[in-house]
Amino acid sequence: MNTGESGDIGLTDRASYNHWTELTMRFSDQDPMGHVNNAAYAVYFEVSRVEFFAHFVEAGAPVDTVLARITINFLRETSFPGTLDIGARLTGIGNKSVRSAYGIFRDELCLATAECVSVFFDTRTRRSTLPPASVRTAMQNELARSRTGARAGG
């Protein structure tokens, strides 16, 4: 089920990520199948994405990001209670968009991965926009750093 977007980055490999978020599951994340519901994973990835992007884009600033596309691959089911680790990395920067990838891990097992396209968004006009130069530079530095990290970890 390779979506072909992230090339040879191993999204199920902890070594692919250099930003981490810890998250506690909740009883009501689970559905009648007795496992964490798929939509809860979308919430988990968002927690990681918001914390990760806070390094580049200031909350409440006139330029924020909105999610334009997400692909989630569900690899293993899990259940409450417990703590999850979510890894994040940038995978590409466009003119008005940025791509990122995520993995949810329970100990060493990868439960799900996500690839996201986020669009820079003017919170006053509510339309897509170019990011400030400072944001673009910070993201380019992070992208360069994560590529080096992936190579070093490979």
> Which residues in this chain contact its own copies in the complex, by CB under 8 A?
1, 3, 22-24, 26-28, 30-34, 37-40, 42-44, 46-47, 50-51, 64, 66-74, 77, 80-81, 117, 123, 126
What is the rounded CA–CA span in Å between residue 88 and residue 142?
Answer: 11
Query: What are the C-alpha distances in Å from 93 to residues 80, 111, 119, 135?
Result: 36, 26, 10, 11
Q: Which is nearer to its own copies, 100 or 150 (CB)?
A: 100
CA atoms within 13 A on the CB side of 132: 11
What is the rounded CA–CA span in Å between residue 36 and residue 30?
Answer: 4
Query: What are the C-alpha distances in Å from 10 to residues 47, 50, 85, 109, 132?
Result: 21, 22, 16, 13, 31
CB of 43 to its own copies, least distance (A): 5
CB of 18 to its own copies, least distance (A): 19
Q: Which is nearer to its own copies, 23 or 93 (CB)?
A: 23
CB of 144 to its own copies, least distance (A): 25
Q: Which is nearer to its own copies, 15 or 33 (CB)?
A: 33
Q: Which is nearer to its own copies, 9 or 36 (CB)?
A: 36
What is the rounded CA–CA span in Å between residue 80 and residue 93?
Answer: 36
CB of 70 to its own copies, least distance (A): 5
